[in-house]
Amino acid sequence: MFVKEKTYKLDEEDHKILKVLQQNCRLSYREISKLTKAGATTIHKKVLRWIKDGLIKRFTILIDWNLLGRSSLAYVSVLMYFPGETASKYLELFSQITKYPYVRLMSSVSGRTDFMLRASAKTNDELNAFLNEIRSLEGVSRTETYVSLYDAKKEGRDKPEKLFPYKDIHLKILRVLQEDAKLSLREIGDKLGISHSLVNSHLKELINEKVIKKFTIIADRKMLGYGIMAYVLITFDYPILKKLKLHQEEVMRRIIQMPQVTYATAVTGRIDAILYVVAEDMQKLDSFVTGLRAIKGIRRTETLVISHGFEREVDDMAKLFRHG
């Protein structure tokens, strides 16, 4: 059950600053000042306050895992069954599954399933081996897997023409930046025991080759006024799409323009697409879904409201890339 939490009061200037930080959190306060017209000292004080209050949870990076060879991505619904079910058993299983390094995101949801998780692996064989382990866990009654075909917010399909030839030092730098993307080159070097000039050289490679997609922030969505998060599963009406001479990707491009949609992917399986959406409250979520169903070519939707979730913010690179 959701309890509407007190939202954080933000003015227009605050929203401008947060938007810049979401696009590039490594900018100096002076650079942010030029973009927002707010004073650098004022920005510094606001950022420190937002960190203290928990509005900004972390300065981090977005990684293009495909360029590192981890292009097998799937969503998995997990239905559990424990005789004489207890909440502690459910929480134990939830915690157990999140320990697998392949799990990027896991949510407890309402609806016909109990959990939804997003997992990435280097190959389909590695992904299947992980899924078989999940299915063998005590308490797992049934799983359903939806393999991601492409990220709708990207142009074209996800598989890159060539992989980035990463070294161990690249993975170490990525991990440090996942923990704190605001660290200076010298601070990163001190953590890794290398010179700041060497950090600079490797960091430029990661940026130029687009392995690092963005230096950004993780903000508390509930404090920003988005008290509801949900998965929306979509099934397309292909006869209608054919009649209208529309392609699935055209409909997906329209969907991702909707402000509530933070992530969208086309998948294989009994459904055709999965959306990750945010809304202020249940009424706003219902309104969004109603608007979604009105789009020509969408036959059916299913909403799984998230009660609580886990999102991996820092990866154990040694486990994740143990096979090279």
User: The domain at 12-53 falls in which architecture?
Assistant: Orthogonal Bundle (1.10)
Q: How confident is the model at residue 2 (pLDDT cuts 50, 70, 90)?
A: very low
pLDDT at 3: 41
Structural contact between residues 109 and 276, judged by C-beta atoms closer than 8 angstroms = no
Q: Where are the domains of the chain?
A: 12-53, 165-208, 228-310
Q: What average pLDDT score do residues 62-84 get?
A: 88
Q: In this model, does residue 53 exceed pLDDT 70?
A: yes
Tens of pLDDT, residues 161-179? 789 999 999 999 999 999 9
Read off the pLDDT of each residue in 53-71 and give the average, rounded to a whole number. 91
pLDDT at 4: 44
Q: What is the pLDDT of residue 59?
A: 97
What is the mean predicted confidence (pLDDT) over 291-308?
93
CB-count burial class (<10 Å; 0-12, 13-18, 19+) for 288: buried
Q: pTM above 0.75? A: yes
Predicted confidence (pLDDT) per residue in 126-165, tens digit: 999 999 999 999 999 999 999 998 887 654 445 667 899 9
For 169-204, give one letter per residue: b (16+ CB within 10 A) or e: ebbbbbbbbbebbbbeeeebbebbebeeeebeebbe
* C-alpha distance from residue 59 to each of 25, 79, 179 (Å): 7, 34, 7
Average pLDDT, the chain: 89
- Number of other CB atoms surrounding residue 45 within 10 Å: 12
Which fold is adopted by the domain 165-208? Arc Repressor Mutant, subunit A (1.10.10)
Phi, psi dihedral angles at 93 (to 5 degrees): -65, -40
pLDDT at position 6? 53
Domain 12-53 shares a fold with domain 228-310: no
Highest mean pLDDT among 92-96, 153-157, 191-195: 191-195
Question: What's the pLDDT at 320?
Answer: 67
**Mean pLDDT on 21-39:** 96
Of the candidate ranges 84-88, 175-179, 180-184, 223-227, the one whose mean pLDDT is the lowest: 84-88
Does domain 228-310 bear CATH number 3.30.70.920? yes
pLDDT at 156: 42
The answer to whether the CB of 141 falls within 8 A of the CB of 79 is yes
CB atoms near residue 132 (< 10 Å): 10
Residue 93: exposed, middle, or buried by beta-carbon count in 10 A (0-12, 13-18, 19+)?
A: buried
Report pLDDT for 152: 75
Nearest to 27 by CA among 178, 197, 180, 215: 215
